[in-house]
Protein backbone atom coordinates (compact mmCIF):
# COMPACT_ATOMS: atom_id res chain seq x y z
CA UNK A 1 0.00 0.00 0.00
CA UNK A 2 2.22 2.69 -1.15
CA UNK A 3 2.56 5.31 -3.28
CA UNK A 4 2.35 2.43 -2.53
CA UNK A 5 2.60 2.40 -6.28
CA UNK A 6 6.40 2.56 -6.46
CA UNK A 7 8.19 -0.63 -5.42
CA UNK A 8 11.63 0.97 -5.51
CA UNK A 9 10.46 3.56 -2.99
CA UNK A 10 9.35 0.93 -0.54
CA UNK A 11 12.43 -1.13 -1.17
CA UNK A 12 14.60 1.73 0.07
CA UNK A 13 12.30 2.73 2.89
CA UNK A 14 11.66 -0.66 4.39
CA UNK A 15 14.67 -2.72 3.37
CA UNK A 16 15.75 -2.75 7.00
CA UNK A 17 12.84 -4.97 7.97
CA UNK A 18 13.03 -7.66 5.29
CA UNK A 19 12.32 -11.23 6.25
CA UNK A 20 8.79 -11.85 7.47
CA UNK A 21 8.09 -14.93 9.51
CA UNK A 22 4.89 -16.24 10.99
CA UNK A 23 4.73 -17.63 14.52
CA UNK A 24 2.36 -19.76 16.52
CA UNK A 25 -0.98 -18.05 17.00
CA UNK A 26 -1.81 -17.02 20.54
CA UNK A 27 -5.56 -17.31 20.35
CA UNK A 28 -6.08 -20.23 17.95
CA UNK A 29 -9.26 -22.24 18.25
CA UNK A 30 -8.45 -25.96 18.59
CA UNK A 31 -10.02 -28.35 16.12
CA UNK A 32 -11.02 -25.76 13.49
CA UNK A 33 -10.09 -26.87 9.97
CA UNK A 34 -7.90 -24.26 8.26
CA UNK A 35 -8.47 -23.09 4.69
CA UNK A 36 -5.55 -21.50 2.88
CA UNK A 37 -6.04 -17.88 1.86
CA UNK A 38 -3.38 -15.86 0.05
CA UNK A 39 -3.21 -12.12 0.70
CA UNK A 40 -1.26 -9.98 -1.73
CA UNK A 41 0.35 -6.95 -0.18
CA UNK A 42 0.75 -3.82 -2.28
CA UNK A 43 4.36 -3.23 -1.20
CA UNK A 44 7.60 -5.16 -1.73
CA UNK A 45 8.48 -5.83 1.93
CA UNK A 46 6.82 -6.17 5.34
CA UNK A 47 5.90 -2.90 7.08
CA UNK A 48 3.30 -1.40 9.39
CA UNK A 49 0.81 -0.88 6.57
CA UNK A 50 0.10 -4.61 6.91
CA UNK A 51 -0.11 -4.49 10.72
CA UNK A 52 -3.67 -5.83 10.84
CA UNK A 53 -2.60 -8.91 8.86
CA UNK A 54 0.33 -9.59 11.18
CA UNK A 55 -1.88 -9.16 14.26
CA UNK A 56 -4.48 -11.38 12.62
CA UNK A 57 -1.86 -14.08 12.04
CA UNK A 58 -0.03 -13.92 15.35
CA UNK A 59 -3.07 -13.11 17.46
CA UNK A 60 -5.07 -16.04 16.09
CA UNK A 61 -7.90 -14.01 14.58
CA UNK A 62 -7.62 -15.70 11.18
CA UNK A 63 -7.34 -19.15 12.74
CA UNK A 64 -10.50 -18.50 14.74
CA UNK A 65 -12.23 -17.98 11.39
CA UNK A 66 -10.77 -21.23 10.01
CA UNK A 67 -8.25 -19.47 7.78
CA UNK A 68 -4.55 -20.11 7.23
CA UNK A 69 -3.48 -16.73 5.85
CA UNK A 70 -0.26 -16.25 3.90
CA UNK A 71 0.87 -12.76 2.96
CA UNK A 72 2.94 -12.18 -0.15
CA UNK A 73 4.59 -9.00 -1.38
CA UNK A 74 4.59 -7.16 -4.71
CA UNK A 75 6.48 -4.28 -6.28
CA UNK A 76 3.57 -1.95 -5.52
CA UNK A 77 -0.19 -1.57 -5.53
CA UNK A 78 -0.56 -1.91 -9.34
CA UNK A 79 1.21 -5.28 -9.39
CA UNK A 80 -0.63 -6.43 -6.27
CA UNK A 81 -3.96 -5.55 -7.86
CA UNK A 82 -3.06 -7.24 -11.16
CA UNK A 83 -1.97 -10.47 -9.43
CA UNK A 84 -5.19 -10.61 -7.44
CA UNK A 85 -7.41 -9.71 -10.40
CA UNK A 86 -5.76 -12.63 -12.24
CA UNK A 87 -6.78 -14.96 -9.37
CA UNK A 88 -3.20 -15.65 -8.35
CA UNK A 89 -4.08 -14.35 -4.88
CA UNK A 90 -7.38 -14.24 -3.01
CA UNK A 91 -7.23 -10.76 -1.50
CA UNK A 92 -5.06 -7.68 -1.98
CA UNK A 93 -4.43 -4.93 0.57
CA UNK A 94 -3.88 -1.99 -1.78
CA UNK A 95 -4.75 1.56 -2.68
CA UNK A 96 -7.75 1.99 -4.97
CA UNK A 97 -6.06 3.76 -7.89
CA UNK A 98 -4.91 0.62 -9.77
CA UNK A 99 -8.43 -0.80 -9.89
CA UNK A 100 -9.75 2.55 -11.15
CA UNK A 101 -6.98 3.19 -13.66
CA UNK A 102 -6.87 -0.45 -14.76
CA UNK A 103 -10.57 -0.88 -15.47
CA UNK A 104 -10.31 0.08 -19.14
CA UNK A 105 -7.30 -2.25 -19.40
CA UNK A 106 -9.28 -5.27 -18.28
CA UNK A 107 -8.80 -5.31 -14.49
CA UNK A 108 -11.93 -6.87 -13.04
CA UNK A 109 -12.40 -6.88 -9.30
CA UNK A 110 -13.72 -4.78 -6.45
CA UNK A 111 -12.67 -3.06 -3.26
CA UNK A 112 -14.94 -4.77 -0.72
CA UNK A 113 -13.81 -3.03 2.48
CA UNK A 114 -12.23 0.31 3.26
CA UNK A 115 -9.31 0.02 5.70
CA UNK A 116 -8.08 3.60 6.26
CA UNK A 117 -9.63 6.92 7.15
CA UNK A 118 -8.01 9.50 4.88
CA UNK A 119 -6.62 10.23 1.44
CA UNK A 120 -2.96 9.30 1.84
CA UNK A 121 -1.66 11.93 -0.60
CA UNK A 122 -1.25 15.54 0.52
CA UNK A 123 1.17 18.49 0.45
CA UNK A 124 3.76 19.26 3.13
CA UNK A 125 5.96 22.26 3.84
CA UNK A 126 8.47 22.66 6.69
CA UNK A 127 6.82 23.84 9.88
CA UNK A 128 8.83 27.08 9.80
CA UNK A 129 8.07 27.77 6.11
CA UNK A 130 6.57 31.17 5.20
CA UNK A 131 4.01 29.18 3.20
CA UNK A 132 0.93 29.26 5.46
CA UNK A 133 -1.89 28.45 3.04
CA UNK A 134 -2.38 26.62 -0.23
CA UNK A 135 -2.67 30.01 -1.94
CA UNK A 136 0.90 30.72 -0.85
CA UNK A 137 2.07 27.87 -3.10
CA UNK A 138 1.46 29.98 -6.21
CA UNK A 139 4.67 30.09 -8.21
CA UNK A 140 6.36 27.55 -5.96
CA UNK A 141 7.85 24.16 -6.91
CA UNK A 142 6.49 20.98 -5.36
CA UNK A 143 8.48 17.77 -5.19
CA UNK A 144 6.78 14.45 -5.93
CA UNK A 145 8.20 10.93 -5.75
CA UNK A 146 7.88 10.56 -9.53
CA UNK A 147 5.59 11.75 -12.29
CA UNK A 148 3.90 8.34 -12.17
CA UNK A 149 2.98 8.77 -8.51
CA UNK A 150 -0.73 8.61 -7.66
CA UNK A 151 -0.09 11.70 -5.54
CA UNK A 152 0.36 13.83 -8.68
CA UNK A 153 -3.33 14.26 -9.62
CA UNK A 154 -4.23 14.93 -5.98
CA UNK A 155 -1.53 17.60 -5.61
CA UNK A 156 -2.66 19.24 -8.85
CA UNK A 157 -6.28 19.16 -7.66
CA UNK A 158 -5.34 20.76 -4.32
CA UNK A 159 -3.65 23.60 -6.22
CA UNK A 160 -6.59 24.06 -8.57
CA UNK A 161 -8.95 24.24 -5.57
CA UNK A 162 -7.02 27.34 -4.49
CA UNK A 163 -7.21 28.92 -7.95
CA UNK A 164 -3.66 27.95 -8.91
CA UNK A 165 -3.21 26.52 -12.40
CA UNK A 166 -0.30 24.04 -12.28
CA UNK A 167 2.36 24.70 -14.90
CA UNK A 168 4.53 22.13 -16.66
CA UNK A 169 7.34 22.73 -14.16
CA UNK A 170 5.26 23.15 -10.99
CA UNK A 171 5.81 19.52 -9.98
CA UNK A 172 9.32 18.05 -9.99
CA UNK A 173 10.37 14.44 -9.32
CA UNK A 174 12.54 14.32 -6.18
CA UNK A 175 12.18 10.75 -4.91
CA UNK A 176 11.47 10.20 -1.21
CA UNK A 177 13.14 10.35 2.19
CA UNK A 178 16.71 11.76 2.03
CA UNK A 179 16.41 12.70 -1.66
CA UNK A 180 13.18 14.59 -1.07
CA UNK A 181 14.53 16.38 2.00
CA UNK A 182 17.71 17.35 0.12
CA UNK A 183 15.61 18.94 -2.63
CA UNK A 184 13.52 20.76 -0.02
CA UNK A 185 16.51 22.05 1.95
CA UNK A 186 18.39 23.15 -1.15
CA UNK A 187 15.43 25.23 -2.32
CA UNK A 188 14.96 23.20 -5.50
CA UNK A 189 11.39 22.73 -4.28
CA UNK A 190 9.48 24.60 -1.59
CA UNK A 191 6.98 21.85 -0.78
CA UNK A 192 6.52 18.10 -1.08
CA UNK A 193 3.61 16.13 -2.52
CA UNK A 194 4.17 12.63 -1.13
CA UNK A 195 2.11 10.18 0.94
CA UNK A 196 1.49 9.46 4.57
CA UNK A 197 3.98 6.59 5.04
CA UNK A 198 6.87 8.81 3.94
CA UNK A 199 5.71 11.69 6.11
CA UNK A 200 5.41 9.35 9.12
CA UNK A 201 8.99 8.17 8.58
CA UNK A 202 10.32 11.70 8.20
CA UNK A 203 8.47 12.79 11.35
CA UNK A 204 10.11 9.93 13.27
CA UNK A 205 13.44 11.25 12.02
CA UNK A 206 12.64 14.62 13.60
CA UNK A 207 11.29 16.59 10.63
CA UNK A 208 8.31 18.81 11.41
CA UNK A 209 5.79 19.68 8.71
CA UNK A 210 2.73 21.78 8.05
CA UNK A 211 0.22 19.89 5.89
CA UNK A 212 -2.31 20.91 3.24
CA UNK A 213 -4.94 18.29 2.41
CA UNK A 214 -7.56 18.07 -0.30
CA UNK A 215 -10.45 20.44 0.52
CA UNK A 216 -13.25 17.93 -0.20
CA UNK A 217 -11.66 14.48 -0.26
CA UNK A 218 -9.25 14.54 2.70
CA UNK A 219 -11.45 12.07 4.61
CA UNK A 220 -11.75 9.65 1.69
CA UNK A 221 -10.02 6.41 2.68
CA UNK A 222 -8.30 5.30 -0.53
CA UNK A 223 -6.89 2.01 0.79
CA UNK A 224 -8.92 -1.18 0.92
CA UNK A 225 -9.26 -4.91 0.51
CA UNK A 226 -9.59 -5.98 -3.13
CA UNK A 227 -10.72 -9.28 -4.67
CA UNK A 228 -11.37 -10.36 -8.24
CA UNK A 229 -14.94 -10.66 -9.46
CA UNK A 230 -14.46 -14.43 -9.68
CA UNK A 231 -13.21 -14.70 -6.10
CA UNK A 232 -16.06 -12.53 -4.86
CA UNK A 233 -18.43 -14.99 -6.49
CA UNK A 234 -16.77 -18.31 -5.58
CA UNK A 235 -15.19 -17.49 -2.19
CA UNK A 236 -17.65 -15.09 -0.65
CA UNK A 237 -17.73 -16.95 2.67
CA UNK A 238 -13.94 -16.99 2.95
CA UNK A 239 -13.78 -13.27 2.15
CA UNK A 240 -16.42 -12.57 4.81
CA UNK A 241 -14.37 -14.49 7.36
CA UNK A 242 -11.15 -12.82 6.29
CA UNK A 243 -12.69 -9.34 6.44
CA UNK A 244 -14.19 -10.06 9.86
CA UNK A 245 -10.87 -11.32 11.25
CA UNK A 246 -9.09 -8.32 9.69
CA UNK A 247 -11.53 -5.92 11.34
CA UNK A 248 -11.20 -7.66 14.73
CA UNK A 249 -7.40 -7.65 14.49
CA UNK A 250 -7.46 -3.94 13.66
CA UNK A 251 -9.71 -3.16 16.61
CA UNK A 252 -7.42 -5.23 18.87
CA UNK A 253 -4.39 -3.24 17.66
CA UNK A 254 -6.11 0.13 18.08
CA UNK A 255 -7.19 -0.83 21.61
CA UNK A 256 -3.79 -2.18 22.73
CA UNK A 257 -0.93 -0.69 20.67
CA UNK A 258 1.78 -2.32 22.81
CA UNK A 259 0.31 -5.76 22.15
CA UNK A 260 0.13 -4.91 18.45
CA UNK A 261 3.83 -3.98 18.47
CA UNK A 262 4.80 -7.30 20.06
CA UNK A 263 2.70 -9.29 17.58
CA UNK A 264 4.25 -7.26 14.76
CA UNK A 265 7.70 -8.25 16.02
CA UNK A 266 6.69 -11.92 16.03
CA UNK A 267 5.69 -11.68 12.38
CA UNK A 268 8.55 -9.39 11.36
CA UNK A 269 11.46 -9.93 13.80
CA UNK A 270 13.67 -7.45 11.97
CA UNK A 271 11.29 -4.63 12.90
CA UNK A 272 12.40 -4.77 16.54
CA UNK A 273 14.98 -2.03 17.11
CA UNK A 274 16.50 -1.14 20.47
CA UNK A 275 19.13 -2.25 22.94
CA UNK A 276 16.59 -2.69 25.74
CA UNK A 277 12.94 -3.74 25.88
CA UNK A 278 11.98 -0.21 26.89
CA UNK A 279 13.88 1.35 23.98
CA UNK A 280 12.50 -1.21 21.52
CA UNK A 281 8.92 -0.58 22.65
CA UNK A 282 9.41 3.19 22.40
CA UNK A 283 10.67 2.78 18.83
CA UNK A 284 7.92 0.28 18.02
CA UNK A 285 5.14 2.54 19.25
CA UNK A 286 6.60 5.49 17.33
CA UNK A 287 6.45 3.38 14.17
CA UNK A 288 3.03 1.84 14.76
CA UNK A 289 1.07 4.72 16.35
CA UNK A 290 0.64 6.83 13.17
CA UNK A 291 -0.71 3.83 11.27
CA UNK A 292 -3.14 2.97 14.07
CA UNK A 293 -4.62 6.47 13.79
CA UNK A 294 -5.10 5.85 10.08
CA UNK A 295 -6.65 2.41 10.70
CA UNK A 296 -9.16 3.66 13.30
CA UNK A 297 -12.19 3.94 11.00
CA UNK A 298 -14.86 2.91 13.51
CA UNK A 299 -15.99 -0.49 14.73
CA UNK A 300 -19.08 -2.29 16.02
CA UNK A 301 -21.32 -1.68 17.76
CA UNK A 302 -21.18 2.07 17.05
CA UNK A 303 -19.99 1.92 13.43
CA UNK A 304 -19.96 -0.49 10.51
CA UNK A 305 -16.31 -1.20 9.81
CA UNK A 306 -15.13 -0.85 6.22
CA UNK A 307 -18.13 0.87 4.64
CA UNK A 308 -17.20 2.52 1.34
CA UNK A 309 -18.55 6.02 0.76
CA UNK A 310 -19.97 5.80 -2.74
CA UNK A 311 -20.24 9.56 -3.23
CA UNK A 312 -16.61 10.20 -2.15
CA UNK A 313 -15.37 7.28 -4.26
CA UNK A 314 -17.11 8.64 -7.35
CA UNK A 315 -15.71 12.12 -6.69
CA UNK A 316 -12.22 10.65 -6.39
CA UNK A 317 -12.61 8.88 -9.72
CA UNK A 318 -13.82 12.16 -11.22
CA UNK A 319 -10.72 13.91 -9.83
CA UNK A 320 -8.52 11.42 -11.67
CA UNK A 321 -10.52 11.97 -14.84
CA UNK A 322 -10.22 15.76 -14.56
CA UNK A 323 -6.47 15.45 -14.10
CA UNK A 324 -6.15 13.26 -17.20
CA UNK A 325 -5.29 9.98 -15.46
CA UNK A 326 -8.33 8.21 -16.92
CA UNK A 327 -10.51 9.04 -19.91
CA UNK A 328 -13.79 7.99 -18.32
CA UNK A 329 -14.84 7.08 -14.80
CA UNK A 330 -15.79 3.41 -14.38
CA UNK A 331 -19.17 2.56 -12.84
CA UNK A 332 -18.86 2.50 -9.05
CA UNK A 333 -20.51 -0.93 -8.86
CA UNK A 334 -17.79 -2.32 -11.12
CA UNK A 335 -15.00 -1.05 -8.86
CA UNK A 336 -16.34 -1.28 -5.30
CA UNK A 337 -19.02 -3.01 -3.27
CA UNK A 338 -20.51 -2.83 0.21
CA UNK A 339 -22.15 -6.25 -0.14
CA UNK A 340 -19.82 -7.90 2.39
CA UNK A 341 -19.97 -5.19 5.04
CA UNK A 342 -22.77 -6.96 6.92
CA UNK A 343 -20.91 -10.25 7.35
CA UNK A 344 -17.61 -8.48 8.05
CA UNK A 345 -19.23 -6.68 10.98
CA UNK A 346 -20.83 -9.80 12.44
CA UNK A 347 -18.80 -9.71 15.66
CA UNK A 348 -18.93 -8.22 19.14
CA UNK A 349 -16.62 -5.22 19.22
CA UNK A 350 -16.76 -4.91 22.99
CA UNK A 351 -15.51 -8.49 23.37
CA UNK A 352 -12.51 -7.69 21.16
CA UNK A 353 -11.77 -4.58 23.19
CA UNK A 354 -11.93 -6.59 26.44
CA UNK A 355 -9.61 -9.24 24.98
CA UNK A 356 -7.15 -6.57 23.90
CA UNK A 357 -7.12 -4.88 27.30
CA UNK A 358 -6.58 -8.22 29.06
CA UNK A 359 -3.87 -9.43 26.69
CA UNK A 360 -0.53 -10.42 28.19
CA UNK A 361 2.54 -11.49 26.23
> Could you say which of 3.40.50.10190, 1.10.10.10, 3.90.230.10, 3.40.190.10 is the CATH number of the domain covering 7-118+221-358?
3.40.190.10
pLDDT exceeds 60 at position 14: no
Is residue 28 pLDDT above 80, yes or no?
Answer: no
**pLDDT of 9 strictly over 70:** no
How many CA within 13 A on the CB side of residue 66? Answer: 9
Name the pLDDT band for 32 (thresholds 50, 70, 90).
low
pLDDT tens digits, residue range 187-196? Answer: 999 999 999 9
Confidence of residue 150 (pLDDT cuts 50, 70, 90): very high
Domain ranges of the chain: 7-118+221-358, 121-212
Q: What is the pLDDT of residues 270-305, one digit of tens each?
A: 999 999 999 999 999 999 999 999 999 999 999 999
29 has a pLDDT exceeding 60: no
Q: What is the pLDDT of residue 1?
A: 52
Topology agreement, domain 7-118+221-358 and domain 121-212 = yes
Q: Against a cut of 0.75, is the pTM above it? A: yes
Residue 175's pLDDT band (cuts 50, 70, 90): very high
More confident residue, 15 or 30: 30
Omega of the bond prior to 228 within 30 degrees of 0, cis?
no
Query: What are the pLDDT digits (tens) for 228-254?
Result: 999 999 999 999 999 999 999 999 999
* Euclidean distance between CA atoms 42 and 352, whole angstroms: 27
Q: How far apart are CA 157 and CA 40, in angstroms?
A: 30
pLDDT at 360: 86
Q: What is the pLDDT of residues 80-90, one digit of tens each?
A: 999 999 999 99
Could you tell me which residues come within 8 angstroms of residue 167 by beta carbon, excluding any fewer than 6 positions away? none
* Residue 95 burial (10 A CB sphere; 0-12, 13-18, 19+): buried
193 bridge partner residues: 123, 144
Is 60 exceeded by the pLDDT of residue 127? Answer: yes
Q: Report, as an integer, the average pLDDT of 182-203.
A: 96
Contact of 45 with 79, CB cutoff 8 Å? no
121-212: which CATH number, 1.10.3720.10, 1.20.140.10, 3.40.190.10, 3.40.980.10? Answer: 3.40.190.10
Compare 11 and 347 and report the one with higher pLDDT. 347
pLDDT value for 4: 47
DSSP, residue by residue, 226-244: EEEHHHHHH-HHHHHHHHH
Mean of the per-residue pLDDT values of the chain: 92
3-state secondary structure of 329: coil
Segment 310-341, tens digit of pLDDT: 999 999 999 999 999 999 999 999 999 999 99
- Provide CB contacts within 8 A for 342, sequence distance 6+: none
Apex 52 CA angle, 78 and 293, nearest 5: 95
Amino acid sequence: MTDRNDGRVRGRLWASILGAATGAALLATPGVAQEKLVVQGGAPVPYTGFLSIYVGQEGGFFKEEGLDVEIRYASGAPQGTQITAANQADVAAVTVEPSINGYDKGIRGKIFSRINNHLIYYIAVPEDSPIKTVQDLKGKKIGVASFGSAAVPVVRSILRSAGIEPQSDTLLPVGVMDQAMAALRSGSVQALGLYDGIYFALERAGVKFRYFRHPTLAAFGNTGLFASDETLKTKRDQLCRFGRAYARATLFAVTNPEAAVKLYWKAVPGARRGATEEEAMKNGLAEVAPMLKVFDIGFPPATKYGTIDRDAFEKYMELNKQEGVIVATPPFDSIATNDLIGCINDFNGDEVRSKAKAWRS
